[in-house]
Every structure is written in C-alpha cells, then in structure tokens.
C-alpha cells in the first residue's frame, strides 16, 4: 500500500513526489521509461518567473505585467485567478527549485544578477535559464537526483519501465492503478494492481500524434487517455501549440524562442523578413501567430522555405558570433553542428512542429480533477493557466507550482476526507463520449468530484476504465467506433496516424479535413476492435498507439465543434474569432454497460 502514486517523472511529477515525501507521505513514482526521459529534460527556453521580489530579480517586472502577458497570449480562455495565483507563486517556485539543486544562470557567478532573457509576447525580460539553453535538463537532473536519493533511503518507491494501464475507482474515489512492467524487448509483463489513496497524473503531452514534434518519444497522450477512461473531465483538446522554429531536417529538434529573443529574424526563400508584414511584434509575436506565418510561407509556393537568420543578433565585445552562440545556446549549437550547419554564418531552415498541448484534464487551482482522489499537473492537465495558446516559458513554471501544491495537499491527513464528500454523476447518458460541458469563463467553478460508472470491484473497475486500441479488455469487447461501419482507408501504423493528424488537424484546419481525420481514426478503432485478440495490448507500442488514437480522435472531435479561429486553433473555413465562443468546452467519456457487461464507448457526440 502507498499513500500517493505519481505517474510521470518530469518537473510536475517529481515536484509532487518530493513535496509529498518531504511531508511524510508514502510515495510511489511510476514512469514507463527511464526517470529522465521526459519533455522537461528537452525544455530549452527557460522558465518565466516574476522575480522582482527576489534579490537580483527583474526590477521592471510585476505580477500585473506577467499576468497580462499570459492573458493576452491565451486569447480569452485563461482563467485569471489561476494565472494570478501561479504568477504570485513564481518566486517561491524559483526558491524551491534552487533549494533542490537547480543552478539558474547568473551574469557573473554566485551573487550576481540572474540572466533573464526576453521571449515572444513577454513585455520584459523575465525568462530564467540554466546551462544556457539547457534549463529543462538542469531541472530534470536536479529533481531526478533528489528522487533517487529519496528512493535510496526508502522515502520514495521508484518504478521505472512500468506502464500504468488504468486508473481504478471504487465508484466514488480513485483507489489505485493497474500496472504492467515494460520488458527489454518492448513486451509488457503481467498486469498488477497497486492501491493508493491518491493518484497524480503528470504524464506530459501528446506530441507523437504528429510527424514533426519537439516532444520525446514517450509523449503519447497517456494521461488524458487514462483520465477519460476513469471518467474525468477534459477540456480544450483542440488547442495544440505548434512551435514555429524546429529544424526543418530529418531528426528535427527545437530551436528555442530565446534565439529570436536575442535578435534572430525569420526570412523566406527570397531573403525577405516576412514577420514584419504579419504582426507589429514581428518575430516576438505569440507562437500561434508566428507558427501560422511560417507554415503559410512554407506551403504557399512550390519552393517555399523559411530560414532563421542569426546574423542580426548583437554580439558582446570581445566575442565572435560563433563563440557567443556556442556559449549562449550550447545545446542548439552542438545539434546544428551535428547536422553540418554553422549558424553563425548560415541560414537555418525551420518548420513548425507540434510542441505543447494546452488542452488536458480539467483541474481546479489546487490540482483536483473531477474524480475524487485523482489529481493532474503539467502538460496533461488543463488548469486554466494557458488558455488557447501558452505564453512561452510558462510551462515549467506552471508544472513546478502545481506539482508542489498537489504534493503538499495529498500528504495532509484531511485530504483523504474527499472520499466521503464526492458527488455522484454515475447516471450519464449512454453512447455519449466527449459530452460537451461548455461554460463561460465567468461561470466556471472548481471541478466537482464525480462518480465514474462501473463496478465497485477493483478488478472490474480496471476493465471499466480501459479503452483499448486492441478493442478488448480482459473480459469484455469494446467498440470505440460510433457506428462500427467506418472502414479505414489504409492499414494502421504510427506513421499513418501522424500523417493523418498533420493533414487534418495540424496548423490549419477545415471541417472537411477534420471529418476525414476523424473518420480514419474511427476506422482504425473499428478495425482493431474487429480483429483484436482476447487480451490487452502485449507491447508498449500497442498501448501507446491505443492512447494516441483515443486522444487524436478526441482532439478532432473538439476541433470540429469549435467553429472559429482562436489561439492555436486555426480554422481556414472559420478564420474569424467569434466572441460568443470565448468559452472552454469540457468533455467526458460516457459509457453504456449492457447486462452482458459489454461497454461501447462513442466519441462523436457534438450536441450541446
């Protein structure tokens, strides 16, 4: 028995685990790969923080400025109280990370001011860095070291290479998870049940839905899929941020926004600096604006291309451009050199790539989901911080703060009392997945714990919470297709799924493209159900594909329902922003349980 299960090992998960363990809770951290294989580890740009209250902080910054920048980028869908709370806590987050071993860069060593950079849509230089462009890596290494130290003395149980296959409930409260070990050949071992008072989902994003992504290979939407199957509410799944500047080459990687913050500009194939024609903020416009402009230039002509020009970056006296870039951006510098590019003298070809999912599991300002005892933090969550488009470098900040908040709360003795007070919502309409729960921002209330439908027996609860890519659980057939009659146009592969999502639910979207993508995913789901073996997925890849199909289908459904363009959701057939749609739409997966215990899950109900 453990008090708290944390699923995921990035900054959100490890912040939650360490905070809970330090308060005396028995904590288990579960990750399907190594402890350090996370999106946090890849984060280059830094962490936005309002540091004016700290020694050597940014004197020109204020809570109001940071909040306003975040709200503007969020395109009307941020929740101002949540944003205010996160920004107010940002100085504490800096202290906590520093205390746990993160050494943020300083101008001239210990005691000197921090290096704080400027990034797109920020009104002042407030971005903290560590190791130049290796901020996420520095945070990951520090928190991982603390976690391993805690595991060595028994304060944390660490389970690497272990896949969580389901979140179990007793009908009112999360009671644990089902897990399967990931073997060296990618096969999955026998399933086990691990009980806990609290389950924290901190699994990261779903960038592997797309062929071009800055995310690691483990970003397969696991947390959102697990939450949907457990009956939790999700929202804003249509908002997927595409970073404007990934290297346009095989094995592409992120070229941090901080490079443009230092003065680099974007040019088309003719050498024209096109962003000055698009937005008065030029290269420092919000990411959604820049990404759409880059995509339009690249696809607007047969030879369309976009290049990052670093010759415009001011260089300090005494340094060559090559020396400055290598010192300021060592990770990017080494990666570009490995691709044979000297960015001190050459233009760098860039392309948009899937970067961050603003949508996710609905939480309140403390991290509670709509299922009692189930919590969420980091990219898999939707806290109200980011709205329709995340402000650059706010993700590490939000993840660290919500992770810490959750860790402190789950360790408090009174937190278990939620079991008795959870409200019931077990009478859901049958055949209704992604049931819209639209509400205005003014009307939004903290999530209410709900009772997922299904058996109160833990083993049956595990089955009731599973939506399998193979179409089966241990005892019952599941048909995730709304009609069961949609035929896939090609056999399923990860590459085919990614191509489908890029074409139909990528940077620009239309009803036709989204319908085609949705139908193709439904066909794959129906086909997998028809030919599935009588067992659950036997490989990690199968389980991840199941989760990607679940999240991809939900994303396309949500994108079809939003008939406007807002933030990172750009509809070519609805190019205007509709003030009447300045609302977040929540969705829940509804189930119909037959006497034979067959449960059909549908994901296409768009009635409001």
Which residues belong to the active site?
A: 287
Dist CA 4 CA 545 (whole Å): 27
Dist CA 61 CA 91 (whole Å): 12
Contact 209, 552 (CB under 8 A): yes
The pair of three-digit structure tokens given for residue 313, joined into one six-digit string? 């970056």
The pair of three-digit structure tokens given for residue 71, joined into one six-digit string? 């709200």
Please give the sequence-ordered ranges of beta strands (E in DSSP) within 160-303, or none if there are none: 162-169, 174-181, 192-201, 234-235, 240-247, 265-268
Helix (H) or strand (E) run with residue 410 in it: helix 395-410
Dist CA 214 CA 210 (whole Å): 10
The pair of three-digit structure tokens given for residue 418, joined into one six-digit string? 């939620």
Helix (H) or strand (E) run with residue 362 in it: strand 360-362
Longest distance between any two alpha carbons in the chain, whole Å? 78
Contact 468, 536 (CB under 8 A): yes
Q: Where are the alpha helices (DSSP H) in 106-154?
A: 135-152
Q: Which residue in the block uniquely carries the two structure tokens 């609290």? A: 198
Contact 206, 356 (CB under 8 A): no
Contacts of 289 (CB under 8 A, 6+ apart): 278, 279, 281
Dist CA 193 CA 180 (whole Å): 9
Neighbours of 448 (CB within 10 A): 14
Backbone dihedral angles phi then psi of residue 134, each to the nearest 5 degrees: -125, 40
- Which DSSP state fits 181? E
From first CA to last CA, the distance across the chain in angstroms is: 42
Q: Classify strands 240-247 and 348-357 as parallel, antiparallel or unpaired.
A: antiparallel
Neighbours of 253 (CB within 10 A): 17
Q: How far is CA 399 from CA 297, 306, 329, 372, in A?
A: 34, 32, 24, 21
Q: Classify strands 374-376 and 192-201 as parallel, antiparallel or unpaired.
A: parallel
Please give the sequence-ordered ranges of beta strands (E in DSSP) within 192-329, or none if there are none: 192-201, 234-235, 240-247, 265-268, 306-309
Burial per residue of 202-223, b for 16 or more beta-carbon CB atoms within 10 angstroms, e otherwise? bbbbbbbbbbbbbbbebbbbbb
Q: Which residue in the block uniquely carries the two structure tokens 């937190």? A: 415
Contact 221, 206 (CB under 8 A): yes
């Amino acid at each position: 028995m453990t008090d708290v299960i944390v699923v995921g090992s990035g900054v959100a998960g490890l912040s939650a685990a360490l905070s809970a363990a330090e308060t005396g809770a028995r904590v288990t951290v579960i990750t399907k790969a190594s402890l350090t294989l996370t999106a946090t580890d890849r984060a280059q740009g830094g962490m936005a923080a309002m540091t004016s209250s700290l020694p050597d902080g940014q004197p020109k910054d204020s809570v109001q400025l940071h909040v306003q920048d975040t709200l503007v980028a969020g395109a009307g869908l941020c929740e101002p109280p949540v944003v205010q709370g996160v920004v107010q806590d940002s100085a504490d987050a800096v202290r906590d990370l520093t205390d746990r071993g993160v050494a943020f860069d300083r101008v001239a060593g210990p005691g000197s001011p921090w290096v704080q950079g400027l990034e797109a849509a920020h009104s002042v230089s407030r971005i903290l860095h560590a190791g130049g462009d290796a901020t996420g890596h520095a945070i990951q290494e520090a928190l991982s070291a603390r976690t391993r130290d805690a595991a060595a003395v028994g304060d944390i149980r660490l389970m690497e290479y272990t896949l969580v296959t389901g979140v179990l409930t007793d009908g009112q409260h999360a009671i644990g998870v089902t897990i399967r070990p990931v073997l060296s050949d990618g096969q999955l071992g026998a399933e086990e049940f691990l009980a806990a008072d609290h389950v924290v989902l901190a699994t990261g994003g779903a960038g592997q839905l797309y062929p071009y992504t800055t995310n690691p290979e483990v970003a397969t939407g696991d947390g959102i899929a697990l939450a949907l199957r457990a009956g939790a509410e999700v929202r804003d799944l249509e908002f997927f941020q595409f970073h404007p500047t990934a290297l346009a080459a095989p094995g592409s990687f992120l070229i941090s926004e901080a490079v443009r913050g230092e003065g680099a500009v974007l040019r088309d194939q003719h050498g024209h600096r096109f962003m000055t024609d698009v937005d008065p903020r030029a290269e420092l416009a919000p990411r959604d604006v820049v990404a759409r402009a880059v995509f339009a230039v690249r696809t607007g002509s047969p030879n369309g291309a976009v290049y990052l020009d670093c010759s415009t970056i001011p260089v300090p006296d005494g340094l060559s451009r090559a020396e400055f870039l290598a010192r300021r951006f060592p990770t990017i510098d080494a990666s570009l050199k490995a691709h044979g590019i000297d960015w001190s003298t050459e233009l760098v070809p860039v392309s948009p790539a899937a970067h961050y999912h603003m949508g996710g599991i609905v939480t309140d300002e403390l991290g509670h989901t709509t299922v009692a005892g189930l919590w969420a933090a980091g990219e898999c969550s939707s806290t109200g911080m980011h709205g329709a488009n995340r402000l650059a470098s706010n993700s590490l900040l939000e993840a660290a703060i919500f992770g810490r908040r959750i860790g402190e709360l789950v360790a408090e003795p009174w937190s278990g009392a939620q079991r008795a007070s959870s409200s019931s919502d077990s009478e859901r309409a049958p055949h209704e997945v992604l049931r819209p729960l639209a509400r205005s921002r003014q009307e939004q209330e903290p999530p209410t714990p709900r009772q997922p439908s299904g058996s109160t027996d833990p083993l049956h609860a595990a089955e009731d919470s599973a939506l399998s890519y193979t179409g089966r659980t241990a005892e019952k057939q599941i048909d995730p297709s709304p009609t069961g009659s949609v035929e896939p146009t090609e056999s399923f592969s990860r590459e085919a799924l990614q191509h489908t999502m890029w074409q139909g639910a990528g940077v620009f979207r239309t009803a036709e493209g989204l319908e085609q993508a949705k139908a193709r995913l439904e066909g794959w789901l129906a086909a997998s159900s028809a030919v599935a073996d009588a067992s659950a997925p036997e490989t990690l890849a199968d389980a991840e594909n199941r989760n990607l199909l679940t999240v991809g289908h939900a994303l396309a459904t949500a994108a079809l329902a939003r008939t406007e363009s807002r933030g990172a959701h750009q509809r070519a057939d609805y190019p205007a922003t509709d003030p009447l749609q300045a609302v977040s739409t929540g969705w829940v997966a509804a189930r119909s349980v037959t006497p034979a215990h067959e449960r059909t899950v549908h994901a296409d109900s768009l009635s409001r």
